[in-house]
């Protein structure tokens, strides 16, 4: 009987050991092994750009940036360089030489004056036999006629003011006759010619009594663009144009003949 009890106890122990083994197996299947990964520590002084450069994506971005900087658009055209003005201080010489060469007449004389306010002188052509004046300047690399064959007893100019003055007389002129001064502004927009309206002018006419004797007086009238104005307004406009009576210059002062002018220009 003891023998049977011992055998039964041994069997029970074997069953318990088998059950524990199965339970441990089930527990092992439910266990998940977690691998600890150490975090990447970036030094404080490391630049973000260096981090990007260390990665393949960073290399690709940097390469793309360099490619865009070095690329040239196929349709891009070079910028136009600023053109140099043809009206340089020496351009006028050859142009004026051509004008002088083509001008005919034994009584023709030439002079160079500074009429407008630049470094290029103007060429004056005067036919003394007929009192005809022409003035040339340089425009767009060509000789431009500013004053085209104006006829007058005398023509003067105001240096670097762009103003010429024309003298006329009638009834013998002087205090017992009549005379006038006519002021024109020159430009490269249009050539002045006989019959053009002056900017300013005044006229003087001597007065006579019923018997035809000069009274010793005369009447002076002032005009702006052919409209009569008073003397005060006239003088103000003269000042605005830089016109000072007595400060004008004769266009033919220091004039030269054709050969001499060609030598000076050449």
List, for residues 150-186, the tens digit of each pLDDT value. Answer: 999 999 999 999 999 999 999 999 999 999 999 999 9
CA 200 to each of CA 114, 142, 235, 237, 241: distance values in angstroms, whole numbers, following the listed order: 21, 30, 10, 8, 10
What distance in Å separates the CA atoms of residue 217 and residue 199, rounded to the nearest whole number?
Answer: 27
| Mean pLDDT across 20-33 | 42
Q: Where are the beta strands (DSSP E) in the chain?
A: 108-113, 122-127, 132-139, 142-151, 154-158, 163-170, 178-185, 200-208, 214-224, 227-229, 249-250
User: According to the model, what pLDDT value does residue 2 have?
Assistant: 46
Tell me what pLDDT residue 91 has: 84
Angle between helices 91-102 and 258-265 (to 10 degrees): 160
Helix (H) or strand (E) holding 240: helix 231-240
Model pTM above 0.85: no
Q: What's the rounded mean pLDDT across residues 14-22?
A: 44
Q: Do 222 and 234 meet the contact criterion of CB atoms below 8 Å apart?
A: yes
Across the chain, mean pLDDT equals 79
pLDDT at 181: 96
Q: How many helices (H) and strands (E) does the chain have?
A: 6, 11
Is residue 121 within 8 A of residue 76, CB to CB? The reply is: no
- CA-atom Rg of the chain in angstroms: 52
CB 25 within 8 A of CB 17: no
Q: Which two tokens stand for residue 108?
A: 């023709």
pLDDT at residue 221 greater than cutoff 80: yes
Band (68; pLDDT cuts 50, 70, 90): very low
Lowest mean pLDDT among 18-22, 208-212, 229-233: 18-22
- Asked if pLDDT for residue 72 goes beyond 80, the answer is no
pLDDT at 89: 65
Q: Which residues pair with 169 in a beta bridge?
A: 179
Q: For residue 140, give the DSSP letter.
A: T
Contact 167, 179 (CB under 8 A): yes
């Amino acid at each position: 009987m003891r023998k049977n009890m011992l055998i039964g106890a041994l069997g029970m122990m074997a069953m318990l050991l088998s059950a524990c083994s199965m339970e441990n197996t089930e527990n092992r299947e439910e266990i998940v092994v977690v691998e600890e990964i150490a975090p990447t520590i970036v030094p404080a002084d490391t630049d973000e750009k260096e981090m990007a450069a260390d990665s393949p994506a960073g290399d690709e971005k940097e390469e793309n940036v360099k490619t865009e900087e070095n690329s040239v658009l196929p349709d891009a055209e070079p910028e136009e360089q600023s053109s140099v003005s043809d009206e340089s201080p020496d351009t006028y010489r050859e142009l004026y030489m051509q004008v002088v060469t083509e001008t005919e007449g034994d009584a023709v004389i030439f002079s160079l004056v500074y009429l407008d306010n630049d470094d290029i002188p103007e060429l004056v052509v005067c036919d003394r036999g007929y009192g005809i004046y022409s003035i040339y300047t340089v425009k767009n690399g060509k000789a431009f006629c500013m004053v085209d064959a104006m006829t007058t007893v005398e023509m003067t100019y105001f240096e670097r003011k762009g103003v010429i003055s024309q003298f006329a007389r009638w009834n013998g002129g002087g205090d017992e006759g009549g005379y006038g001064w006519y002021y024109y502004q020159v430009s490269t927009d249009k050539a002045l010619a006989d019959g053009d309206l002056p900017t300013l002018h005044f006229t003087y006419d001597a007065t006579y009594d019923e018997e035809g004797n000069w009274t010793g007086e005369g009447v002076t009238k002032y005009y702006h663009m052919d409209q009569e104005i008073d003397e005060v307004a006239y003088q103000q406009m003269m000042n605005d144009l830089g016109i000072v009576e007595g400060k004008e210059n004769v266009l033919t002062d220091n004039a030269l003949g054709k050969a001499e002018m060609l030598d000076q220009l050449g």
